[in-house]
Structure 1
Amino acid sequence: MGETSSSEQWLSFIIADECYVHDVTSIKSIVLYEEPQEVPGATEGMLGILNVRGEPVSIFSGRRLLGIPDVQPSEQWRIILFDYPDGCFGLIVDSVDVLVNFEAEDIDRNTQQTDSDLIQGTMHFDERLMIVLDCGKACVRWLKEF
């Protein structure tokens, strides 16, 4: 993987056959999928609340946040738990892939075709196109609206 001291670590995961990456610094843990408890009046994309190690965590659907149709849960589904100063939340993904190392300066931010805070750009790594996400900005804003 060509790890160097100046590289940043990113977690790659799959949603609807597309590869996404997120900086690991805000990732608290990864847990097996459990169906969250529905919350009336929740913001779009938020599926509900899940009790994780005695702590209530708001759970978002990666598919819904990206405008991808829902499918039935599978055994490969995981919930990535994020810990930000403004809030903690979980993101449901179809599967978790690998840790990759690259520098944030290598992200192609010109490919961003949306006004969303979620998609930051793309990155080519090991002959794969990876979509770079920043879940913190978008999800923490949605948590505050809720």
Structure 2
Amino acid sequence: MKWITFCVEDEDYCHQVSSVKEVLRYEEPVPVPGAPDFVAGIINVRGEVMVVLDTRIIMGLPPFQMTDASRIICLELPEGNFGLLVDSVSEMIDFEDSQLDQGAQPTITGSSMMIKGTYKDEKGLKIAIDVDTFVANYIEERQAALA
């Protein structure tokens, strides 16, 4: 199973490639008035409007600071297409879900439910993220704001 690895606040994360449409260089999202703070805005990807979520805010980290390495990981999920704003994208790796260590999981403020487990290779520890939970958090907060 292929995973894409990316960095947020000097930590390595990974997500299964199956829902990744593409990886884009950072472009400034257009702000959405009234959106939750973790919505960086929207971008237009070949005629399709995509909501961009700031992974730093979702994880309870300081706000995003753009660099030349910053990327938007475009995801195709049952809930729709979303972009995840990350500090950088590293590489593709292969491992199976069964190789995830689900024991001693790191605790990141407000996001422990988003962690599927950890995977360690010769380059270090990667935290496997449950992107569906990222998106579910967005949808839940958005619906609450509209109520």
TM over 0.5: yes
Aligned residue for 1:64, secondary structure, equals: helix
State how far apart, in whole Å, the 2-side matches of 1:86 and 1:120 are: 19
Match of residue 124 from structure 2: 128
TM value normalised by structure 1: 0.87
Give 1:68's match in structure 2, choosing from 61, 71, 83. 61
Aligned residue for 1:117, secondary structure, equals: helix
- Of stretches 49-58 and 133-142 in structure 1, the one that deviates more from structure 2 is 133-142
Match of residue 82 from structure 1: 75
Is 2:106 aligned against 1:110? no
After superposition, give the CA deviation of every residue in 1:74-120 in whole Å (9 maximum; x if it has no partner). 11100000001221100011111010011101111122347643211
Is 2:44 aligned against 1:51? yes
Cα RMSD for the two superposed structures: 1.7
Verify the 8 A CA contact 2:100 2:117 in the aligned structure 1: yes
Percent of aligned pairs sharing the same letter: 37
Unaligned runs of 5+ in 1: 1-7
Aligned residue for 2:68, secondary structure, equals: coil
Displacement after TM superposition at 1:127 (Å): 4.3
TM value normalised by structure 2: 0.86
Displacement after TM superposition at 1:133 (Å): 0.4
Q: Which amino acid aligns with 1:20?
A: Y
State how far apart, in whole Å, the 1-side matches of 2:48 and 2:140 are: 18
Give the paired residue count.
139
Match of residue 142 from structure 1: 138
Q: Which amino acid aligns with 1:57?
A: M
Match of residue 89 from structure 2: 96
Alpha-carbon distance change, 44 to 120 in structure 1, aligned in 2, over 3 angstroms: farther
Unaligned runs of 5+ in 2: 143-147
State how far apart, in whole Å, the 2-side matches of 1:57 and 1:117 are: 24
Is 2:7 aligned against 1:14? yes
